[in-house]
Chain A
Amino acid sequence: MLAAILSLGGIGLAAAVALGFAAKKFAVEVDPREQAILEVLPNANCGACGFPGCSGYAKMVATSDKIAAACPPGGAVVMEKIANIMGLAPVEAEPMVAVVLCQGDDGKARQKYHYLGVHDCVAAQKVADGPKTCPSGCLGLGTCARVCPFDAIEMTPDGLAVISRARCTGCGKCVSSCPRSVIGMKPLDATVHVLCNSHDKGGLVRKYCDIGCIGCMICKKTAPTAYEIENFLASVVYENHGDAEVAIEKCPTKCIRNFMDGYPEGSSFSAPTCMREAG
Chain B
Amino acid sequence: MADQNKTDTEGTFFSEILSPSELFAARSRSHKIPVRGQKDFFPNDSDEQRQRLEQSLNEHWSLISEERVERLGNLVRATWIPSDQTVELQSPAGKFWQTMGFSADGKQYLLPEEALYLMECGNLQVFYKDLPLSIQDGYERFLSSNTVRLQQYQVFGHLKRLGYVVHRFDPSSEPSPYVRQLNLPQSRDRAGRQLKRKRSASPTPTCSHSEAQEESTTERMEEDKGNHDGEENKKPPESHLTTSPETAQVQTATTSTTDEGGGRTWWTTDVLRDLGKGSDHSPTSGSSRWDFSSISFPDLGSRGQLSSRLASPDPSLLPGALAVGVCDVASWRQRINLREVRLSSKEQRREEDKRRRRWDVNKDKEVQRCRNWAEYQELLARRQGRRKGRPAHLWNREVTPLHDPRQLIPTGELLDKISVIKSTNLLEGASRLKGSDEWKICFNVYQPDSVADFKKSNPGKPYSRMCVCSFNDPVPDLRAIKLLASQSGDVPVVIAVVDHGDISFYTFKDFQLPKDVYP
Q: Do A and B bind each other?
A: no
